[in-house]
Amino acid sequence: MSLIAPSRGGKGSQKSGARRAENNRIYAHPLPLVFLPPTFDSAYSPARLLSLVGLSAARVENPHCEGVFDPATRSVWVTNERDSTILWRRGFFGKGDLSRSEPSWLARQINARKAAGKYMTSEEIREKRRAERRQFKLDRAAAIARAAAEAEAAFAEGREAAPVAIPSGATWKPPSSGDSALPAMPPPEDEDSESEGEIEEEQPLENVEHLQLTLQEAWFLLWNLDCLTVLDPHTNKPMTLSQIWHTFLTAHPIPPLLRADAEQRFDNPFLVHYAAYHHYRALGWVVKGGIKFCVDYLLYKRGPVFHHAEFAVVVIPVYEDPEDQASSPFTLSNADTFSWTWLSTVNRVNSQVQKTLILTYVTIPARSRVSPDLLSSPACLAHFSVREVVLRRFIPARMRD
């Protein structure tokens, strides 16, 4: 049975269909690497000969993006607008430091300037709806209080209580104001459509936003796809792979006396979270941060533009050798036994937003079994194992069938 309601036609469905088609065109590539079809220049071209024997002759287009490592935020900053657009549109990597998700600060500022009091921007519409919801809750609470006071007074006087209208979400209307009459911001028009008499007197906007990549996203891009170059923040020169590996392993703040031991520990936070991140990215999921819902990651089928996240992931480290946990300089989240109160809280939060909670257990190899010398290269990641437990909240009223 299809979960998508059939289209009823009309102007609204046409707009949504056009927007969906535009998103399919913009976000057509799941990764920054693009595989282009081969070109057959002649009958004896190498591409044609390879196709005859069953080998692919597709060409790979590598964008070769650049980013700067920022030790304060433990992330990689992509300041080039072209690279930021490519990494976001081809796999939804990173987030804008001035935006909730997509780096759209400049577009929002341009739309707000074009509105000039005639239209409402998307941010203004969102804040207006939140204010209306807050006002509705206040009005409903006040009406319930009046109804309770009237019932007590009627009981004391021995009469029938007068009816008090309690607003509901279906009948309540926000108070009229001047801003509410403004229409929504229309899509930006081309510059040619502006009248010749209009002269832009304001200063041009400068894009001060950058794309912020987590360490897990940056390592996935440079190690698995080879499409990212990380620059040293002091010299502004490209870092070697060994330098980046050493920098990411020591990026987590620990006491200076224990910093030398960080590169000799398999329970390094970067390794534990990257094992989970790589596990889901390799399976084709779009992995984003889930701190908003009290989890580590959110899993999208195609990306935040198309659908909401269906799954919420909590990374739970599991030590193969308990002695390694006792001697660890790191304090890993969820490494200790969690309580049922914590589990019920996280599960309830994600159930209310229609997300399935997944407990992802990352097994940390024992130092007594695996040599710490493997930590000098990414070969150590092969010794991590990932197990999953899907947790669903039982709702008796909805699960009787």
CA distance from start to end of the chain: 16
CA 41 – CA 110 distance, rounded (Å): 45
CB 356 within 8 A of CB 392: yes
Choosing from 27, 280, 300, 319, the catalytic residue is 300
CA 45 – CA 57 distance, rounded (Å): 11
Residue 83: closest CA among 206, 205, 212, 188: 212
Q: Is 29 known to be catalytic?
A: no
CA 119 – CA 190 distance, rounded (Å): 17
- Where residue 202 falls (left for φ over 0; alpha for ψ -120 to 50; beta otherwise) is beta
The count of other CB atoms within 10 Å of the CB of residue 185 is 19
Choosing from 64, 308, 361, 383, the catalytic residue is 308
Q: At what angle do helices 122-157 and 105-115 cross, to 10 degrees?
A: 80
Angle, CA of 26, 29 and 34, to the nearest 5°: 125
Q: Is 308 known to be catalytic?
A: yes
Amino acid at 140: R
Residue 332: closest CA among 319, 345, 320, 313: 319
Question: What is the distance, to the nearest Å, from the Cα of residue 1 to the centroid of all Cα atoms in its chain?
Answer: 29
Strand 65-70 to strand 385-391: parallel, antiparallel, or no bridges (unpaired)? unpaired
CA 69 – CA 218 distance, rounded (Å): 10
Structure tokens at 359: 């407990």
Residue 101: closest CA among 111, 109, 93: 93
Choosing from 210, 273, 288, 355, the catalytic residue is 355
Q: Is 355 known to be catalytic?
A: yes
Question: What is the three-class DSSP state of 66?
Answer: strand
Question: What is the distance, to the nearest Å, from the Cα of residue 179 to the centroid of all Cα atoms in its chain?
Answer: 32
Strands (E), 232-365: 286-289, 297-300, 311-319, 356-364
Residue 145: closest CA among 124, 112, 126, 167: 167
Structure tokens at 326: 């006792």
Catalytic residues: 300, 308, 355
